[in-house]
Chains A and B, each alone.
Chain A
Amino acid sequence: MAQDHDHDNDHHHHEHGSELSEMQIRVRALESILTEKGYVEPAALDAIIEAYETKIGPRNGARVVAKAWTDPAFRQALLEDATKAIGTLGHASRVGDHLVAVENTPQRHNMVVCTLCSCYPWEMLGLPPVWYKAAPYRSRAVKDPRGVLADFGVTLPQDTEIRVWDSTAETRFLVLPMRPAGTEGWSEQQLAEIVTRDSMIGTGFPKTPGSPS
């Protein structure tokens, strides 16, 4: 591997200028090289960034969760084959073939991690937060999930089973959190608003009615 061809450079650059400007220059240089070679065009890069900024995000997952809370047949279909079930909502093609929904119950709490890198259901939740990709979460989620949950201020009864899903292949996991009490009669739209990103990773709960958002 040519893995040392520029890391020395990298250390050298650290001696002057901030990492910010150094990184900016470096990324710009690579973009110039690849554009000049005709491998990419800047407009395509702009469009990719725009797509991530506007088309994906936890609201996609929240919509799915809210639907599952209000429609028992959809909930069943989601747990049986999430890809297929979500297809009926109109963003099937984006989800791909390998989505699995796992349901929290009073007996079992699910939590998702990728210990090896940063696998995450982008199409449902957007790009992962820094903590999800960082060493503390990746190292501890599989060994001390209750400790990790405590870092998020989440405490579960001792006899609740905790199931940690390590995303080691291309399967992506979406946690279906429990519907909070006090939301009887709410519309799907109202419900989607209390579904948090972390509740769909398994490191949090949906917002409870009346709590500050």
Chain B
Amino acid sequence: MNGVHDMGGMDGFGKVEAEPNEPMFHEQWEGRVLALVRAMGAAGAFNIDTSRFYRETLPPDVYLTSSYYKKWLLGLEDLLVDKGYVAPEEMKAGHALKATKAPRRGKFTADQVERIMVRGAFGRPAPAPAKFKAGDRVRAKNIHPLTHTRLPRYVRGHVGTVERDHGCQVFPDSAAMEAGENPQWLYTVVFDAAELWGADADPSVKISIDAFEPYLEMA
């Protein structure tokens, strides 16, 4: 979806301000939110793409004015209610009130923490040969799906060069909508700044994205 989360190339957000000696969490609840999201994901309530999609679909004003972990909390609350894990009246009451759908893998317990500190693997067997190879000139398709996609707006319609392939991986556009993993070839595609930002762009700058095959066509 063309949401405010897709920020590449937007103007007006001001300078980058780094905080010296930044703590890992600014408030105690932030760590709790991180843990809740990790635990419920590990319990099988959702995959990483679905959780990203729920943060993206927060109303634009909420997205832009909420802190990072507040966005995580709001997205998690919406997701849990939408998918039927928590009833709306329970969210209101702050307590469990009735039987609801349980996460696929059951309760997330402390003995499983070690397992989730290992990063997941997204590579999958290839259902078909790769369409592109390093060196190919490709155009990012001019597509505007209303659902989750990892093709940022700023490259759509633009021509770049395939630099490497990363094999076949879970396709976020499908996984986010719980429509299966639908593995697709993944490529690093590199663009000249002038191709993306016009003739006045800095000629020394190149930008790459990782693009799934369905995002690309031969240029």
A residues with a Cβ closer than 8 A to B are: 1-7, 9-10, 20, 23-24, 26-34, 36-41, 43-49, 51-53, 55-56, 93-98, 113, 115-118, 122-123, 126-127, 129-131, 133-146, 148, 151-152, 158-171, 198
Which residues B1-29 have CB closer than 8 A to chain A?
5-11, 13-19, 22, 24, 26-29
CA distance A118 to B208 in the complex (A): 16
Binding site for A on B (CB under 8 A): 5-11, 13-19, 22, 24, 26-29, 31-36, 38-40, 43, 45, 52, 54-59, 62, 64, 68, 70, 73-74, 76-78, 80-82, 85-86, 88, 90-92, 94-96, 100, 102-103, 107-110, 112-114, 116-123, 150-152, 154, 166, 169-170, 172, 186, 188, 190, 193, 196-197, 202, 204-212
- Looking at chain B's contact residues, is the secondary structure mostly helix, strand, loop, or mixed? mixed
CB-defined contacts of A138 to chain B, threshold 8 Å: 7-8
Q: Tell me the bound Cα distance from A26 to B95 in angstroms.
A: 11
Q: What are 11 of the A-B contact pairs (CB < 8 Å)?
A: A10-B74, A27-B33, A29-B94, A34-B36, A37-B96, A41-B110, A97-B122, A98-B166, A115-B8, A134-B68, A164-B208
Other than the known A1-B82, A131-B16, A171-B166, what 5 A-B pairs have Cβ atoms closer than 8 Å? A29-B91, A32-B94, A49-B34, A139-B8, A168-B210
B32: which A residues are within 8 A, CB to CB? Answer: 27-28, 31, 45, 49
Q: Are B95 and A33 in contact (CB under 8 A)?
A: yes
User: Pick the contact of A52 from B34, B96, B208 — CB < 8 Å?
Assistant: B34
User: Roughly how many angstroms separate A159 CA and B205 CA in the complex, as a whole number?
Assistant: 10
CB distance from A120 to the nearest CB of B (A): 12
* Cβ contact within 8 Å between A40 and B86: no
Q: Please give, as numbers and ranges, the residues of chain A lying within 8 Å of B68 by CB-CB distance.
A: 118, 130, 133-134
Known: A31-B32, A94-B119, A168-B150. A7 touches B74 (CB 8 A): yes
Q: Are B107 and A40 in contact (CB under 8 A)?
A: yes
Residues of B within 8 A of A39 (CB): 39-40, 43, 45, 85, 102-103, 107-108
B204 contact set on A, CB distance < 8 A: 158-162
Q: Are B90 and A117 within 8 A (Cβ)?
A: no
Known: A48-B35, A123-B119, A168-B151. A24 touches B29 (CB 8 A): yes
A160 to B19, CA, bound (A): 28
Question: Which residues of the partner chain A approach B123 to less than 8 Å between Cβ atoms?
Answer: 97-98
| Residues on the B chain within 8 Å of A115, using CB | 6-9, 152, 154
Q: Which residues of B contact A33 (CB under 8 A)?
A: 86, 90-91, 94-96
A152: B residues at CB distance < 8 A:
16, 18
Q: With A7-B59, A23-B29 in contact, is A36–B95 under 8 Å at CB?
A: yes
Given A51-B117, A137-B16, do A44 and B76 touch, yes or no (CB 8 Å)? no
Bound form: Cα–Cα A117–B118 in Å: 21
Q: Is the CB of B13 within 8 A of A139?
A: yes
- Chain A residues with CB under 8 Å of B16's CB are 131, 134, 136-137, 140, 148, 151-152
Task: Note all chain A residues with C-beta closer than 8 A to B188.
Answer: 171
